[in-house]
Chains A and B, each alone.
Chain A
Amino acid sequence: MGAIWFWIVAVMLATYVVLDGFDIGIGFLYPFLGRSEEDRKVMMRSIGPVWDGNEVWLLAGGGTLFFAFPLLYASSFSGFYLPLMIVLWLLIGRGVSIELRAHIDNAVWKSFFDGVFFFSSALLAIFYGAALANVIRGVPIGTDSYFFLPLWTNWRVGPHPGILDWYTLIGGVVALVALAVHGALYLAVKAQGDLEERALRCSQIGWVALCVVTAISLVATIAVRPSMLDNYKTYPIAFAIPVLVVLSLIAIKVFAVKKRAFAAFLCSSLYLVMMLVGAAAGLYPVLLPSSISAANDITIANALSGSYAVHVGLIWWALGTLLALGYFIVSYTMFRGKVSADAEGYGH
């Protein structure tokens, strides 16, 4: 049961990254690709009807984490207090900027929200990447199972790190580049003409950076937490995961060159999922490692809810997720196809 819920939460968070990831990526690329008002309208419209549903995966995943592993939820959310609050503010800024931009036809209003959209999207990517890196690096969990991390201490990885140190910054950069490529590919799927071409070209430039930072991050991860490889050595089949990471990177390049943006986007999604699955597989069954002592690690065993709760939860969770997938199919089918800047009779 513990393993089932571990992978359920991991998959929900991975789904969130794949879906809201392209919203965030487009937000980061907004000033670079959105040169004209038409470009910006198209970029906004490509994510307009779907961004909120995408974000729900974070809430559903967070809620599931709460009920399946309450100790992990309690410890990590209070320990990562400041960055979580900042993430909340960034989510508010991002959502508000998408929704309110079009309401007033005024250049200052639009510019302001354009800025907020870019800024909050970019920082969200960095914080998410840093968050995952924090989990891998470990945090100073004490014997009471709690901790509290300042935003930074000495930028070094040691027994008393901050949220930001050289390793977690690498994580942040990987996330930013990966989501930028992901967003660029999604935009290439939805946009037409010049914007589509520029999005594809942008994804190719980003791809080079992505290969470099991916390699750096894998080396750095092993240096910071060599025990990540333990599970891989016990179950060598798991080495398929990094192989898939490499294959998906190659496939992104191949499809982008052939101008098959949708296939490239799917491979980018695969890349993101495999990176996250790889981290989860390395950590399992530890949920949050302690940098003070392994005895303080938060694990599946000490964090899982009672037997009755996790069994009954599986029933409604399966039903609810099936329904949710249905809604998603309806929604993305309804809004498939290219987006244009001009449209008859919109708005006020």
Chain B
Amino acid sequence: MGLALLIVVLKTIALKTGDERYHQAARFWAKIFAVNFLLGVVTGIPMEFEFGTNWSEFSRRTGGIIGQPLAMEGVFSFFLESTFLGLFLFGEKRLSKWAHWGAAFMVFAGSWISGFFIIVTDAWMQHPVAYRLLPDGRFQLTSFWGLLMNRWAWLQYAHNMCGAVVTASFVMAAVGAFYLLEKRDVEFGRLFVRLGVIAGVISCSMQIFPTGDMQGRYAAMNQPAAIAGMEGLFQSEKGAPIVLIGQPNIEQQRIDNPLAVNKVLSFLIYGTTAAEVKGLDQFPRDQWPSALPLLFYSYHIMAGLGTYFVLLMVTAAVLLWRGALYRARWILWPLMLSFPLPYIANTAGWMTAEIGRQPWLVYGLLRTANGYSLHVSAGNSLFTLLGFLGMYGLLSILWILLVYRFIESGPGAVKPSVAPEGFTS
């Protein structure tokens, strides 16, 4: 999703300046995008089916509500992305320059609309709205717009898409830094570093403020147990501190080896250091998020990496502004090496959201323990889990192999595709 945006940016600049190198850059990234997209498609399909296979009770009860955004995702965005990706990858010679730009834009639009609908689904689970609960446990939708305008959804969407752009910026900057450090494809190296750093500094900053801040505060109002777990706050406190690092000790209900800053948590959530933040002691034990240390670590990994990203990108942006970035090998190295970190940060963020929601599947209304498929044995689940782990492991290896080869060949080796064989040929 992030890369789709950056490709549109490249195509826009190409059209405005008439500079063929931007078209070439777009073609280069389109090849990588195509492989990513394919893997996204084949790994995304299991997710749609998995609601039914492994969470049949949840599906039966909530299908009338969350089935809508999921079906809308298929009907609106999947068709859009898939058709226009084919046009974008193979139609360059058959389409006018503006039509080709249009195809790229539609792929971007399709992927961002897809993101919206899936976030609406998760947001309803985190913060149920527009529903009526029937005696047999089923939820019924009472307002279509209420579902789509769920405030949680928009805050989560902003934060999530920003995170996607962060990932794409880091990858683009890393490839550019690689070329610059290797002193090859220098023009493209500079272009990728420039676009990556500009997109990066904007998205990394926005990821923390306002999107991260707003989502965090909304979560604190609506899922106080989750926030307490994330922050490792066992006892309620006025002027609650923020724990920067430490290890949650569940048995003794405290953080071991904490590095904490007083009063900051109260300020971040409520805007005043005098406010009281509810600790885990305010909630019955059976409403605590089930895997507390994992929740704590996921959140801190995400936030810690997010902070590092801002520092790195701001430094790089300053150097760029001063015209010194392309020669500054000491910053090019971390730019090149940091590209896996946004993947980790995004994953950690999702873990925070989903583990924080525990023990609820639908917050406050349906426990995870009551949502799974009753007749699917643990043995079958394990069998298929291992099957997927193996398959995805193999796909990861293929992905690394192919993307590395593209990067190695460089942007100079790419020509516009005419003949379709798969999405890239």
Using CB atoms and an 8 Å cutoff, list the residues of chain A in contact with chain B: 41, 44-45, 48-50, 52-53, 55-56, 58-64, 66-71, 73-79, 81-82, 84-85, 88-89, 91-92, 95-96, 98-104, 144-148, 305-306, 308-309, 312-313, 316-317, 320-321, 323-324, 327-328, 330-331, 334-335, 339-340, 343-348
Please report the number of residue pairs spanning A and B whose Cβ atoms sit closer than 8 angstroms. 269
Please name all residues of chain B whose beta carbon is closer than 8 Å to the beta carbon of A324 when the two chains form the complex.
75, 79
How far in angstroms is the closest Cβ of chain A from B252?
A: 41
How far in angstroms is the closest Cβ of chain A from B139?
A: 9
Does the CB pair B53–A78 fall under 8 Å? yes
Does the CB pair A66–B70 fall under 8 Å? yes
- With A48-B425, A103-B35, A312-B68 already in contact, 4 other A-B pairs whose C-beta atoms are closer than 8 Å: A74-B63, A102-B424, A320-B76, A327-B79
How far in angstroms is the closest Cβ of chain A from B76?
A: 5
Give the contacting residue for B79; candidates A102, A146, A148, A323; CB below 8 A. Answer: A323
Q: How many residues of B contact A (CB 8 A)?
A: 83
Does the CB pair B60–A305 fall under 8 Å? no
Does the CB pair A84–B53 fall under 8 Å? yes
Give the contacting residue for A101; candidates B87, B89, B422; CB below 8 A. Answer: B422
Does the CB pair A309–B79 fall under 8 Å? no
Does the CB pair A63–B48 fall under 8 Å? yes
How far in angstroms is the closest Cβ of chain B from A58?
A: 8
Please name all residues of chain A whose beta carbon is closer than 8 Å to the beta carbon of B83 when the two chains form the complex.
53, 327-328, 330-331
Using CB atoms and an 8 Å cutoff, list the residues of chain B in contact with chain A: 31, 34-35, 38-39, 41-43, 45-46, 48-49, 51-54, 56-68, 70-76, 78-80, 82-87, 89-91, 94-95, 138, 140-142, 144, 373-377, 380, 384, 387, 391, 395, 398, 402, 405-406, 409, 413-425
Given contacts A53-B82, A74-B52, contact A100 B422 (CB under 8 A): yes
How far in angstroms is the closest Cβ of chain B from A76?
A: 7
What residue of chain A has the Cβ atom nearest to residue B65's Cβ?
A309
Does the CB pair A49–B86 fall under 8 Å? yes
Given contacts A66-B59, A98-B422, A348-B413, contact A308 B140 (CB under 8 A): yes
The 4 closest A-B pairs by CB, nearest first: A70-B63, A67-B67, A77-B52, A343-B419
Given contacts A60-B71, A104-B405, A334-B91, contact A70 B59 (CB under 8 A): yes
Q: How far is the CA of A313 from the CA of B71 in the complex (A)?
A: 9
Does the CB pair B80–A309 fall under 8 Å? no
Please name all residues of chain B whose beta carbon is closer than 8 Å to the beta carbon of A308 when the two chains form the complex.
140-142
What residue of chain B has the Cβ atom nearest to residue A95's Cβ?
B42
Q: How far is the CA of A64 from the CA of B78 in the complex (A)?
A: 13
Given contacts A100-B398, A101-B422, contact A52 B85 (CB under 8 A): yes
How far in angstroms is the closest Cβ of chain B from A15?
A: 11
Does the CB pair B421–A41 fall under 8 Å? yes
Q: How far is the CA of A126 from the CA of B269 in the complex (A)?
A: 56
Q: How far is the CA of A230 from the CA of B75 in the complex (A)?
A: 34
